[in-house]
Amino acid sequence: MNNLLVPIDGSPAALRALAFALQVVHGRPDARVHLLNVQAPLLQAGPSKLVSPDMIDAELRGEGEKRLVQAEIMALSASVACVPRVRIGSVAAEIVAHAVEHGCDAIVMGTRGMGVVGGLVMGSVAQKVVHLATVPVTLVK
């Protein structure tokens, strides 16, 4: 596995998943880690004269880029090539689409913290990705 996708939402779990992925590809000169932040589109009541769709898109992309900075630093510090990207849409669907479009060997992603129920519940995005993905998915708690 030399081409991994790591969704980054800025959470500690996502950064733990990235640390795990960086260990997996450590020492492989041809390895690449795709760092993906997906921004859910904002719901609009209707057309607005004050805020254009392009302005909303730029704001969402800017927020996504901010969330990728720490992950990029981690990858570069580990001497692993990284490809940061921001997509806008349904989070799980965009993660899976990115993996397919870029020929990723696997997806490594964090889950939200487990609650009282323990291991019976995982984050809804992680659950959807596991269901939709055609490549192996590793979940990191």
Q: 30: how many CB neighbours lie within 10 A of its CB? A: 8
pLDDT of residue 115: 42
Residue 106 pLDDT > 50: yes
Reported confidence tier of residue 70, pLDDT bands at 50, 70, 90:
very high
Contacts of 65 by beta carbon, 8 Å cutoff, 6+ apart: 37, 84, 86
pTM recorded for the entire structure:
0.88
Q: What are the domain boundaries of the chain?
A: 3-140
Reported confidence tier of residue 3, pLDDT bands at 50, 70, 90:
very high
Identify the CATH number of the domain defined by range 3-140.
Answer: 3.40.50.620
Residue 73 pLDDT > 80: yes
Contacts of 101 by beta carbon, 8 Å cutoff, 6+ apart: none
d(CA 59, CA 54): 9
